[in-house]
């Protein structure tokens, strides 16, 4: 039985990855390491909490002694590293927190893999990253795996630094690594500070929907479960030392996306068509706001046979349904009540 360390498994994407691995691979022992910051929530993992092949460890990847002890206690065969500070707006307010977790935290994990893995045979450090490391596109073009790094925000700069460290450990120490850079994810369990869940939550509460600038920035959106499938595919079949871009082939201008979401919300909440759109409010633009992200994911499609399976209209409807059916989750994460959930489950 192999033991896999998944970091950040209580967060948005991590919880979908942990659930998928625990349910699909009973012969893999999954250890979820998460600091349970504001973005981490064990309610996301309620359905697998008691599974025989799953355990949770609360801890901080910025603490090298703690990580070292974890590697002494557990014979990890692989690491799937998702723990991160992940929101651009927060990185503008507090860049140091992003350097600590995303850069130093990643380096601590790399050091422990290097120091504890006596042989690299059958081992893998899989680093989950973002397309934002490539910077901002104009109207044309797509990011490929060979696009030069040109990060623009403190968040993307910290992720770029972590990607470089992962490649440096491969090059210098021969550590077996793989990296994937993915576009914007959406779906259940995303903390309502990112555009889609924030807008759903505000519409539900009849609050304004803040659209930065003129709403003309473009993002490529991928349903989170499709990302979890891509991570599973790369983990099992990706080539060591390689990078894979993962995208949704699904570009939307923010304002068009928000208008579509407003129409879905009106329908779901039985409101007059046009009601939610009245909540759209154009606000001051984000500092250094990247204009456009778009991914060329032909490499993962050709080499590994992965492609997105959920079309955006279906994915958005599933997402809206999930948030409306899980208003308790929304209320909990916005009030910080999930920390008492942790106390209840783990008695701390
Ligand atoms: P998230 O913010 O929802 O979750 C991050 C998780 O990491 C949380 O559970 C948090 O508690 C944990 N964490 C934070 N700091 C920690 C620390 N110091 N020690 C241990 N755990 C810590 O993030 P997400 O959106 O799920 O993103 C997961 C990964 O995927 C990140 O590396 C992110 O850069 C990357 N990514 C995200 C997107 C996206 O659209 N959300 C797209 C591409 C790549
Ligand atoms: P976000 O979800 O923060 O992801 P990222 O910055 O990593 O792409 O933002 C998605 C897009 O939506 C981005 O162009 C910024 C914009 N945005 C708004 O217009 N209003 C908001 O309240 C938020 C959070 C984002």
Q: How confident is the model at residue 335 (pLDDT cuts 50, 70, 90)?
A: confident
Q: What is the number of alpha carbons within 13 Å of residue 196 lying toward its C-beta?
A: 31
13 in a domain, yes or no? yes
Spacing, Cα 236 to ligand 2 middle (Å): 32
Average pLDDT (131-147) is 97
125 in a domain, yes or no? yes
267 in a domain, yes or no? no
100 in a domain, yes or no? yes
Nearest ligand for residue 85 CA: 1
Query: Could you report the per-residue pLDDT of 306-319, keeping only the tens digit for each?
Result: 999 999 999 999 99
Spacing, Cα 283 to ligand 2 middle (Å): 12
pLDDT of residue 340: 53
Instruction: Answer whether 11 contacts ligand 1 (Cβ < 6 A).
Output: yes
List active site positions. Answer: 131-132, 155
Query: Could you report the per-residue pLDDT of 239-298, keeping only the tens digit for each?
Result: 999 999 999 999 999 999 999 999 999 999 999 999 999 999 999 999 999 999 999 999
288 in a domain, yes or no? no
Query: Could you report the per-residue pLDDT of 30-63, keeping only the tens digit for each?
Result: 999 999 999 999 999 999 999 999 999 999 999 9
Instruction: Answer whether 159 contacts ligand 2 (Cβ < 6 A).
Output: no
Average pLDDT (13-20) is 98
Total count of domains within the chain: 1
Atom of ligand 2 nearest to the CA of 293: 8
pLDDT for 158 beyond 80: yes
Average pLDDT (141-163) is 98
176 in a domain, yes or no? yes
pLDDT for 155 beyond 80: yes
pLDDT of residue 348: 41
CATH number of the domain bearing residue 135:
3.40.50.720
Nearest ligand for residue 63 CA: 1
Q: Structural domain of residue 31, as residue ranges?
A: 2-185+223-248+294-310+337-346
Query: Could you report the per-residue pLDDT of 180-220, keeping only the tens digit for each?
Result: 999 999 999 999 999 999 999 999 999 999 999 999 999 99
Q: What is the value of pTM for the model shown?
A: 0.97
205 in a domain, yes or no? no
The average confidence (pLDDT) of the chain is 96
Instruction: Answer whether 192 contacts ligand 1 (Cβ < 6 A).
Output: no
Average pLDDT (97-114) is 98
């Amino acid at each position: 039985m192999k033991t896999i360390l998944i970091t950040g498994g209580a967060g948005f994407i991590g919880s979908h990855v942990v659930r998928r691995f625990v349910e699909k691979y009973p012969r893999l022992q999954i250890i979820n390491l998460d600091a349970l910051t504001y973005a981490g929530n064990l309610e996301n993992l309620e359905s697998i909490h008691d599974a025989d092949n799953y355990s949770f460890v609360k801890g901080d990847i910025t603490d090298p002694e703690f990580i070292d002890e974890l590697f002494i206690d557990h014979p990890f065969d692989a690491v799937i590293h998702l723990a991160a500070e992940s929101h651009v707006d927060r990185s503008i307010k507090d860049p140091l927190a992003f350097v600590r977790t995303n850069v130093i935290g990643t380096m601590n994990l790399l050091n422990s893999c290097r120091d504890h893995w006596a042989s690299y045979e059958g081992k893998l450090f899989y680093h989950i990253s973002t397309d934002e490391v490539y910077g901002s596109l104009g109207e044309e073009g797509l990011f490929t795996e060979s696009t030069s790094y040109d990060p623009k925000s403190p968040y993307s700069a910290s992720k770029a630094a972590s990607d470089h460290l992962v490649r440096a450990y491969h090059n210098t120490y021969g550590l077996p690594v793989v990296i994937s850079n993915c576009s914007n994810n959406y779906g259940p369990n995303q903390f309502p500070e990112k555009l889609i869940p924030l807008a759903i939550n505000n519409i539900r509460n009849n609050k304004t929907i803040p659209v930065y600038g003129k709403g003309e920035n473009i993002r490529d959106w991928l349903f989170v479960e499709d990302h979890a499938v891509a991570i599973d595919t790369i983990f099992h079949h990706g080539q060591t030392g390689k990078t894979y871009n993962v995208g949704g082939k699904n570009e939307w201008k923010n304002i068009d996306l928000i208008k579509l979401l407003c129409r879905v919300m009106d329908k779901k909440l039985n409101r007059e068509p046009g009601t939610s759109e009245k909540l759209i409010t154009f606000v001051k633009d984000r500092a250094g706001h990247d204009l456009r992200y778009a991914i060329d994911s032909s490499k993962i499609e050709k080499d590994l046979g992965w492609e997105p399976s959920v079309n955006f209209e279906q994915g958005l409807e599933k997402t809206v349904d999930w948030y409306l059916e899980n208003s308790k989750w929304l209320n909990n994460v916005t009030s910080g009540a999930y920390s008492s959930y942790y106390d209840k489950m783990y008695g701390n």
